[in-house]
Amino acid sequence: MTFENILEEIGGFGPFQIAVVVLLSVPRMVLPCHFLLNNFIAASPPHHCDISTLGGGGLFRNLTREQRLTVGLPVREDGAPKSCEMFTEPQFQLLANSSDAGNLSTVQCRSGWVYDNSTFTSTIATEWDLVCDRKSLTQTTSSIFFIGVMIGSITFGFLCDKYGRKNTLLASYVMSILFSFASAFANSYIVFAVLRFLTGFGLTGILVNVVVIGIEWVDTRHRACIGVVGGLSWSVGNMLLAGLAYLINDWRTLTMVVTAPLGFAVLTWWWIPESARWLLAHGKVEKAQFYLDKCAMFNKRPKVSSNVLLETLSDTEKQDKSYTYLHLIKTPKMRRLTLLTGIVWFGVALTYYAISLNIGGFGLNIYLTHFIYAAIEVPGKLVIYFCLDIFGRKKCQAGTLLLTGISIVVNIFIPRDLWHVRVVVAVLGKGLSESAFTTVFLYTTELYPTVVRQNGMGYSNFMSRLGVAVAPLVLLLVDVWSVLPQIIICTVAIGSGLAALLLPETLNVRLPETIEDVEKTRGKEVSSPSAESPADILELKSTTDM
């Protein structure tokens, strides 16, 4: 008898499962607030050199602000002052004729910068002068954060499979709160960067646990529903970030506000169940019995018939050896699965975050652009929910990635003055990239067996965060060639979409419990497990090849 049979008896999709999704929704909403926080706390507002040190005696001091800018700063083609240059001395003749400004000598800013605080009261760019020759440090901050997430993916993937989902989730809550609040009080860029790295490391435990706990508690028919509905909390959090950033213009306060809900998550942690699948796979029968009985009670179903049944199931699924990341590559089909999922996760993440972090240049303010990008995720998730059960996981994964790449290609050839059209195409690409992300979480959870599922998710998240860490650096290539970032992003999206076509289909297939399940063949597709006998359900599907 499989775990799906037990879930069918006690209710594979009822009040218990819904409660689990609700309890995990709050920490899920915090994740996008931190993952895309750099859009706002590292924003670089309009600025120019501080010209208060220029000479000129009383005449300079008697000039109006506009006149001081005219005699102290060179201008760009659009007439605005240059951000990083100033004249070596006041050029009073420009008050009468500015046509000779191009031949005047300039130097880099000598005494810092003056910032336009109408949009942002304070950002890390204004606090530590991360502009001009140091402007790359703002994007580097995002990369440092995601490197922390990347390393955390490997670490928490191992810890979750060894010590359980629930315990590591609490550790993630506590670490995220401590390091995030500490970063809001950083007194230097170096300290801030280190604390953001540690914050990203801590948040990863939440990321890898909330999805797996939800998926492992539902039956085969409702895995897509739980995956998509749970993912809607990410979109809600993403939209809330735009509103919070609009209302809170100080980067320190904004950092603390988006972290505060994790305090509530710590309180609700006591009601989150441990994965019964994991407990059984590790021989913890009594604890599994406790959570299964609780599930049955919530769903108003009879309890599991006897402990003998659980003992038998545990004996078949329990493994005497500990599993590590090496087990992802020890056998042929697991090795192939690991390679392909890594490519897909890298492509999905780089594409999604490269689009999400590039919220300027469309003629809209960054708050509105971010909100639109976040709002399009909701219909993207709803559409993919229906498509997943109609077309299957593989076609949806490949299709969304390929269409995202095509959208980016189209935007390369649309003239910049047609910004309305560019916004529509960009938003469409953002929605498709979110659909790809929603699919990959569910798809990967179904591909890996229970005994190494968290290791598999940890590795996949590592590849994902590698892509995310690279995304801000790709965007910096705009200074080399304006369309180079888009060419790289669309190439990665299309390449990872083609790789997804080589993965097996998991629609209506029971979750594999052991590596042997993957190496032999996947279970028989079942639309209604209760209608099948245990023997039928355990029958192997010979036509499916990893």
Residue spans of the domains in the chain: they are 3-44+132-510, 46-93+106-112
Q: How far apart are CA 90 and CA 114, in angstroms?
A: 17
What does the pLDDT read at residue 57? 59
State the average pLDDT over residues 123-127: 95
What does the pLDDT read at residue 294? 92
CA distances from 218 to 21, 225, 234, 511 (A): 11, 10, 20, 11
- Cβ atoms of 333 and 492 closer than 8 Å: no
Burial of 288 (0-12, 13-18, 19+ CB in 10 A): buried
CA distances from 314 to 217, 218, 456, 509, 523 (A): 17, 19, 22, 21, 19
pLDDT digits (tens, 9 = 90+) for 2-24: 677 788 888 888 999 989 988 99
Q: Which residues contact 111 (CB under 8 A, 6 or more apart)?
A: 49, 50, 52, 53
What does the pLDDT read at residue 88? 84
| Top mean-pLDDT range of 132-146, 193-207, 424-438, 499-513 | 193-207
Q: Which CATH architecture has domain 3-44+132-510?
A: Up-down Bundle (1.20)
Looking at 418-483, list the stretches that DSSP marks H as alpha helix, in order from N- to C-terminal side.
Answer: 419-447, 453-475
Q: Look-up: residue for tokens 């593989």?
A: 394
The encoded tokens of residue 479 equal: 């200074």
What does the pLDDT read at residue 525? 40
For residue 97, pLDDT beyond 80: no
Through-space distance between the first and last CA atoms of the chain, rounded to whole angstroms: 24
What does the pLDDT read at residue 269? 94
pLDDT digits (tens, 9 = 90+) for 320-331: 457 888 999 999
What does the pLDDT read at residue 356? 87
What does the pLDDT read at residue 92? 81
Q: How confident is the model at residue 313 (pLDDT cuts 50, 70, 90)?
A: low
**Quick one: residue 422, left, alpha or beta (phi over 0 = left, psi -120 to 50 = alpha)?**
alpha
pLDDT digits (tens, 9 = 90+) for 340-390: 999 999 999 999 999 888 876 555 688 988 998 899 889 988 898 889 889
- For the chain, the residue count is 546
Q: How confident is the model at residue 448 (pLDDT cuts 50, 70, 90)?
A: very high
For residue 56, pLDDT beyond 90: no
Strands 85-87 and 47-49: unpaired
For residue 319, pLDDT beyond 60: no
